[in-house]
Amino acid sequence: TRLWRRRPSNTTAFSNSFVSLTVRLLQSLFCTGIAEKFVQWRFNLLCRL
């Protein structure tokens, strides 16, 4: 039962880290000024978070 419990926890941790990395990439891309060209104020709000 321990092994069965460890697997989903590892997968969730991996998915969480992957999501956090993708969010950081999106923030870095949009905060560099690319967002100002496409959607100005929405991504500026994201950059302020």
Per residue in 1-49, pLDDT (tens digit) is: 555 555 556 678 888 888 889 888 888 876 666 666 766 666 666 667 6
pTM of the model: 0.41
Would you list the domain boundaries of the chain?
A: 2-48
Burial status of residue 31 (CB atoms within 10 A of its CB: 0-12, 13-18, 19 or more)? middle
Long-range contacts of 18-27 (CB under 8 A, 24+ apart): none
